[in-house]
A and B are shown apart, each in its own frame.
Chain A
Amino acid sequence: MKPFAYERPDDAQGAVATVSADPDAAFLAGGTNLVDHLRLGLATPSTLVDVTGLTSTEITDAPDGGLSIGAGVRNADLAADERVRARYPVLAQAMLAGASGQLRNMATTGGNLLQRTRCAYFQDLTTPCNKRQPGSGCSALEGWARHHAVLGATHEPADVACVATHPSDMAVALAVLDAQVRVLGAEGERSIPLSTLHRLPGGEPSRDTVLAHGELVTAVDLPPSPIAARSTYYKVRDRASFAFALVSVAAAIEVVGDTITDARLALGGVAHKPWRATAAEEALVGAPPTDDTFRAAARAELVDARPVESPRGGTAFKLPLVTAAVTAALRGLAGGEEHA
């Protein structure tokens, strides 16, 4: 662990100015991921700029009927907010499905978005990892890849390969809600669709998001979304609590008569970013709310899927699991009783 300076500027602009001016500085919010990284030697900032209290800790009603969530809102408070629970149940459920009670009390909205992959090799300084050390190779491709990607990953060439997944539950719910992320940079404020905040690894797996160094998440805006009132988050994991998703599904559908008239679907645990399942959404709309429809929609999303075929545990099982989880989640929303 490398010593670092600790600063606490008076306002968000000051924090952004400090970090923007120093390539080795980093923002500190709840610290639930960054402090681990400091201990592991994975992050070696020269300066930590504490943004606690510099961004809003409030959830406010927006004029358009949506909600604005301050970046400093703790995960536990977001999960418990009555408006979120009533208007965006998928988000409240996703929050409660993530981490543990203790971590949710510390972790912030902004920090949750910017947490990094839990790939074992990324977190282990003694193994090659293109995300941590560009060009060193991907240990997961032939390693322990149970939590890794099936969509949008880079399998080759070797010096940029990355099959890591983004670990956030919250971000998957935000993806389905068409959230906007407000960001403050040295040049001023901008708003980014959540769906484009996180990147696919492409040829540059070290970059998780499109943010420039020094840009600070200040808020997440949720547009009004009548369909979200009937939404759900279904998380499949290896134990009942305190585990990252193998596959998760954020879903909302509207059914009129025997027909799905609108659908929103996003997947977690399958890609380097929260995966908005647009192909599945297209397949759902206009079809009857049956298990066959749900399975066909999931399979439509998986047409280009490529699991990690590792001798030490790959992700091929996630293809049937995505289909199963999407089916279970949508069946629950549609109120159906069908089963495998």
Chain B
Amino acid sequence: MTLTPHAMGTAMPRPEGPEKVRGRAPYAFEHPAAEPLYLFPVQAAIPRGRVTAIDTSAADALDGVVLVLTPETAPRLSDAIDPDHGVLQSAQVHQYGQYVAAVVATTSETAREAADLVRVTYAQEPHVAALDEDSSELYGPDTLVTGAPADDTRGDPDAALAGAAVTVRATYRTPMEHHEPMEPHTTVAVWEGERLVVHEATQAVSWTRQALAGAFGLAEDDVDVVAPHVGGGFGSKGGTHPNTVLTALVARAVPGRTVKYALTRQQMFDLVGYRPATIQHVALGADADGRLTAITHDVVEQSSRIQEFVEPTAAFSRGMYEAGARRTTHRVAPLDIGVPTYMRAPGEAPGSFGAECAMDELAGALGVDPIELRVRNEPEVDPEQGLPYSSRNLVACLRRGAERFDWSRRDPTPRSRLVDGWWHGTGVAAASFPVVRFPGSEARVRAARNGALGNGAGAPRYVVEIAASDIGQGAWAALTAIAADALDVPVERIDLAIGDTAFGSASPAGGSSGTTSWGAAITEAAERFRDKYGDDPDDGDEADATTPDNPWAAEYAMHAYGAHFAEVAVHADTGEIRVPRMLGVFAAGRIVNPLTARSQFLGGMTMGLSAALHEESVLDDRFGHVVNRDFAGYHIATCADVGRMDVEWLDEDDPYVNPMGSKGIGEIGIVGAAAAIANAAHHATGVRVRSLPITLDAFL
């Protein structure tokens, strides 16, 4: 079914907004509990080896300390869990910062003091923490984290490159990056008999429930996970990390007591995932007319020795442009460091930097305008799947952006515009992100005509329940609008409830999939409800549904597209780099809530700017940990770094993606943004920077 939009497409303020600005919307740590206990961990100070002794006597003796857990005293977990979830289960140390003991005390200060008093002795073993593409430990994984094959070759790309009229070969590097949402990872856990109740900063209450049930050998029904409000995640709160398991483990040792643990900012650099560093060898071959004949994108990247995570870096190059021959490969360095995880546009964000800079370099080598080069290589059908597109409006994005950015007046000569001591240039890059639908979200619609929610004899209200997560993207508003349109009532008649496993299973706020997956489930439940009860239901009438499969999934390739335009200024003396202007034009299906959508696009572009100029987790391989582990050291763009930033989206009617016609917008804003800035920096200065972040020393 396809919905007729009334609420969708209309700007809707966040329904939870007033509570948030008053500080009344409870985040995980603020969940009230009687006499809570506080956890503070002891972390490994070595990257690899064994704990040989732990002396907890001084900590035990401290007033207010309730418990000190070590691998010797901690309750046992199930064996069938992720390697990094096995907290306090053995003396092995596989990464710096790993939990080796935990203190619970009546105040957070006492817990922290006691943790400092725990004395740990280690037998250190040799470790490897540097990403080295000549390492003999590199291996070829089977699949990317998305499940797609790690390597994919079509035709004979080497022969095509050898025969190409023009070739570009370059190596691009992207650094390890950390998500660092404002709200740190937080768990508030209590065991009520054999039930575990957790308030958690998570993008996926169901995934957290699944991980905890697995770790403790419980049925999923015996675990409740609650997260109505989450202060950002960017992917780091998608998977479950050791901190959550540790808190539940410690709580198990103090039954009936609530245990609270919020990570410090420094701990956020150790244990809750990161975007792995990549080294990308890209080669493009083209005929004299600028038609691609070959694309190769060969990647070497970081992972963890204890648990594989293969960033799908080169996947971007499989579907973006038509080329006769293509090769994409991934090689992984298993390092003695924490486990990487999804970070906003995993794969597309780093991969588009290499691929879209290479396109700019090819445009320069050919003497063709970079927008025109992309237009010439627009595919007829999706090069990866061989399917027609449900809709693809990349060219329209490029053309509209060119018009707004005054591209036609651009002198393509690098280093040709000096204004008040700053070299200025402009650059462009393309973006894409797949339409992702996760199965298994359960939605329920219930009529309320009486009681607190209903209004007696008047029009019915509808309670809509789904264990979706709002990490700031605007699910509270978007799902309310979808439910209103699906039930054909005004938004005022919808009472949405999300963020609680009491509502069943749901897929995560991740992969730009939330609106698609949850919205399709809500739409299906609403349709069933109306089929069964019509528009005048009785109090308590209810219907439910689980996310249906997309009947068009095998017929069409489905992606959102976008075009980034950036102006860069580089100080002629000092090399300081600024981005006075950015424009993003997107074609992402129907925009459900223009108000929050603009923020999502802007946020993605800002994060892309931040990746382009600032973000780099400095992993000191001698010690095996990130040394710039706070907000003074790990730079994220400040307001002063963000100049004029404009967002526009094209009207796009796509009946195939889902009932809402929406494509997902959480990630596409970051894809290609760094490449547009790097391309603009080259245009400004003539200096091609192929390694992120782009800092002033490149121009000195």
Residue positions of A touching B, CB distance < 8 A: 1-3, 39-41, 118, 120-121, 123-124, 126-127, 139, 142-144, 236, 238-244, 246, 312-313, 317, 320-321, 324-325, 327-328, 339-340
Residues on B with beta carbons closer than 8 Å to the beta carbon of A239: 613-614, 635, 637-638, 640-641
- Whether A328 and B421, one on each chain, are in contact in the complex, defined by CB atoms closer than 8 angstroms, is yes
| B308 CB–A CB distance under 8 Å | no
Listed A/B pairs (30) with beta-carbon separation below 8 Å? A3-B113, A41-B116, A120-B629, A120-B633, A123-B630, A124-B627, A139-B620, A139-B622, A139-B623, A143-B620, A143-B622, A236-B574, A238-B635, A239-B613, A239-B637, A239-B638, A239-B640, A240-B578, A240-B641, A241-B640, A241-B641, A242-B632, A242-B638, A246-B696, A312-B618, A321-B697, A325-B573, A328-B571, A328-B573, A339-B418
| B572 CB–A CB distance under 8 Å | yes
Contact of A144 (CB < 8 Å), options: B627, B637, B639:
B627
Q: How far is the CA of A324 from the CA of B116 in the complex (A)?
A: 46
Contact of B627 (CB < 8 Å), options: A143, A236, A244, A321:
A143
Residues on A with beta carbons closer than 8 Å to the beta carbon of B613: 239
- Whether B700 and A324, one on each chain, are in contact in the complex, defined by CB atoms closer than 8 angstroms, is yes
- Whether B637 and A327, one on each chain, are in contact in the complex, defined by CB atoms closer than 8 angstroms, is no
**Closest A residue by C-beta to B579:** A240
- Whether A340 and B573, one on each chain, are in contact in the complex, defined by CB atoms closer than 8 angstroms, is yes
Contact of B697 (CB < 8 Å), options: A126, A127, A317:
A317
- Whether B574 and A127, one on each chain, are in contact in the complex, defined by CB atoms closer than 8 angstroms, is no
**Closest B residue by C-beta to A39:** B264
| B628 CB–A CB distance under 8 Å | yes
Identify 4 new A-B residue pairs, CB closer than 8 A, beyond the known A324-B575, A339-B573.
A142-B622, A246-B696, A321-B575, A328-B571
User: Which of B96, B113, B695, B697 neighbours the largest number of chain A CB atoms within 10 Å of its CB?
Assistant: B697
- Whether A2 and B113, one on each chain, are in contact in the complex, defined by CB atoms closer than 8 angstroms, is yes
**Closest B residue by C-beta to A40:** B266
Q: How far is the CA of A328 from the CA of B700 in the complex (A)?
A: 13
Residues on B with beta carbons closer than 8 Å to the beta carbon of A127: 620, 623, 627
| B538 CB–A CB distance under 8 Å | no
- Whether B628 and A120, one on each chain, are in contact in the complex, defined by CB atoms closer than 8 angstroms, is yes
Q: How far is the CA of A44 from the CA of B695 in the complex (A)?
A: 37
Q: From residue 253 to 306 of chain B, which have CB atoms closer than 8 A to chain A?
A: 264, 266
Residues on A with beta carbons closer than 8 Å to the beta carbon of B622: 139, 142-143
A127 to chain B, nearest CB (A): 6
Q: How far is the CA of A339 from the CA of B570 in the complex (A)?
A: 13
- Whether B700 and A144, one on each chain, are in contact in the complex, defined by CB atoms closer than 8 angstroms, is no
Residues on A with beta carbons closer than 8 Å to the beta carbon of B697: 317, 321
User: Which of A41, A123, A238, A242 neighbours the largest number of chain B CB atoms within 10 Å of its CB?
Assistant: A238
**Closest A residue by C-beta to B108:** A1
B636 to chain A, nearest CB (A): 8
- Whether B116 and A2, one on each chain, are in contact in the complex, defined by CB atoms closer than 8 angstroms, is yes
User: Which of B113, B571, B576 neighbours the largest number of chain A CB atoms within 10 Å of its CB?
Assistant: B576
- Whether B618 and A339, one on each chain, are in contact in the complex, defined by CB atoms closer than 8 angstroms, is no
- Whether A312 and B620, one on each chain, are in contact in the complex, defined by CB atoms closer than 8 angstroms, is yes
Residues on A with beta carbons closer than 8 Å to the beta carbon of B640: 239-242
Residues on B with beta carbons closer than 8 Å to the beta carbon of A120: 618, 627-629, 633
Q: How far is the CA of A339 from the CA of B645 in the complex (A)?
A: 29
Contact of B638 (CB < 8 Å), options: A126, A240, A340:
A240
Q: How far is the CA of A325 from the CA of B700 in the complex (A)?
A: 11
Q: How far is the CA of A144 from the CA of B618 in the complex (A)?
A: 7
| B45 CB–A CB distance under 8 Å | yes
A86 to chain B, nearest CB (A): 25
Q: How far is the CA of A284 from the CA of B576 in the complex (A)?
A: 25
- Whether B633 and A118, one on each chain, are in contact in the complex, defined by CB atoms closer than 8 angstroms, is yes
B136 to chain A, nearest CB (A): 20
Interface secondary structure of A, over-half rule: loop
Q: How far is the CA of A289 from the CA of B163 in the complex (A)?
A: 57
**Closest B residue by C-beta to A1:** B112
Residues on B with beta carbons closer than 8 Å to the beta carbon of A238: 614, 635, 695-696
A72 to chain B, nearest CB (A): 24
Q: How far is the CA of A340 from the CA of B637 in the complex (A)?
A: 28
Residues on B with beta carbons closer than 8 Å to the beta carbon of A240: 578, 638, 640-641
What total count of A-B pairs have CB within 8 Å? Answer: 98
Q: How far is the CA of A320 from the CA of B635 in the complex (A)?
A: 23
Q: How far is the CA of A320 from the CA of B574 in the complex (A)?
A: 8
Residues on A with beta carbons closer than 8 Å to the beta carbon of B623: 126-127, 139
A160 to chain B, nearest CB (A): 20
User: Which of B573, B578, B622, B640 neighbours the largest number of chain A CB atoms within 10 Å of its CB?
Assistant: B573
| B109 CB–A CB distance under 8 Å | yes
Q: How far is the CA of A340 from the CA of B630 in the complex (A)?
A: 36
B645 to chain A, nearest CB (A): 14
Q: How far is the CA of A241 from the CA of B614 in the complex (A)?
A: 12
Residues on B with beta carbons closer than 8 Å to the beta carbon of A40: 266
- Whether B113 and A339, one on each chain, are in contact in the complex, defined by CB atoms closer than 8 angstroms, is no
**Closest B residue by C-beta to A323:** B573
- Whether B572 and A340, one on each chain, are in contact in the complex, defined by CB atoms closer than 8 angstroms, is yes
Residues on A with beta carbons closer than 8 Å to the beta carbon of B621: 312
Q: How far is the CA of A293 from the CA of B620 in the complex (A)?
A: 40
- Whether B618 and A1, one on each chain, are in contact in the complex, defined by CB atoms closer than 8 angstroms, is no
**Closest B residue by C-beta to A243:** B635
Q: How far is the CA of A242 from the CA of B631 in the complex (A)?
A: 9
Residues on B with beta carbons closer than 8 Å to the beta carbon of A236: 574, 576, 696
Residues on B with beta carbons closer than 8 Å to the beta carbon of A139: 620, 622-623
Q: How far is the CA of A35 from the CA of B641 in the complex (A)?
A: 28
Residues on B with beta carbons closer than 8 Å to the beta carbon of A328: 421, 571, 573-574
Contact of B618 (CB < 8 Å), options: A41, A118, A241, A313:
A313
Contact of B421 (CB < 8 Å), options: A243, A325, A339:
A339
Whether A321 contacts B614 in the complex (CB less than 8 A), given A118-B632, A238-B695, comes out as: no
- Whether B620 and A144, one on each chain, are in contact in the complex, defined by CB atoms closer than 8 angstroms, is yes
**Closest B residue by C-beta to A327:** B573
Whether A321 contacts B113 in the complex (CB less than 8 A), given A144-B627, A239-B635, A340-B573, comes out as: no
Residues on A with beta carbons closer than 8 Å to the beta carbon of B264: 39
Residues on A with beta carbons closer than 8 Å to the beta carbon of B618: 120, 144, 312-313
B626 to chain A, nearest CB (A): 9
Task: Scan B582-625; emit 1 where CB is below 8 A from any A CB, else 0.
Answer: 00000000000000000000000000000001100010111101
B38 to chain A, nearest CB (A): 12
Q: How far is the CA of A340 from the CA of B421 in the complex (A)?
A: 9
Q: How far is the CA of A227 from the CA of B149 in the complex (A)?
A: 69
User: Which of B418, B571, B632 neighbours the largest number of chain A CB atoms within 10 Å of its CB?
Assistant: B632
Residues on A with beta carbons closer than 8 Å to the beta carbon of B635: 238-239, 243
A299 to chain B, nearest CB (A): 14
- Whether A3 and B109, one on each chain, are in contact in the complex, defined by CB atoms closer than 8 angstroms, is yes
Q: How far is the CA of A240 from the CA of B625 in the complex (A)?
A: 27
Contact of A121 (CB < 8 Å), options: B576, B614, B627, B641:
B627
A269 to chain B, nearest CB (A): 12
Whether A325 contacts B113 in the complex (CB less than 8 A), given A120-B633, A127-B623, A244-B632, comes out as: no
- Whether A324 and B573, one on each chain, are in contact in the complex, defined by CB atoms closer than 8 angstroms, is yes
User: Which of A139, A240, A313, A317 neighbours the largest number of chain B CB atoms within 10 Å of its CB?
Assistant: A240
A97 to chain B, nearest CB (A): 11
Whether A324 contacts B113 in the complex (CB less than 8 A), given A238-B635, A239-B613, comes out as: no
Q: How far is the CA of A324 from the CA of B699 in the complex (A)?
A: 11
Residues on A with beta carbons closer than 8 Å to the beta carbon of B639: 241
Q: How far is the CA of A127 from the CA of B45 in the complex (A)?
A: 9
Q: How far is the CA of A139 from the CA of B264 in the complex (A)?
A: 23
Residues on A with beta carbons closer than 8 Å to the beta carbon of B641: 239-241
B610 to chain A, nearest CB (A): 9
7 pairs of A and B residues whose beta carbons are closest in the complex: A241-B640, A240-B640, A317-B697, A324-B573, A120-B627, A328-B573, A126-B45
A135 to chain B, nearest CB (A): 19
A144 to chain B, nearest CB (A): 5
A106 to chain B, nearest CB (A): 15
**Closest B residue by C-beta to A319:** B700
**Closest A residue by C-beta to B266:** A40
Residues on A with beta carbons closer than 8 Å to the beta carbon of B109: 1, 3
Residues on A with beta carbons closer than 8 Å to the beta carbon of B113: 1-3
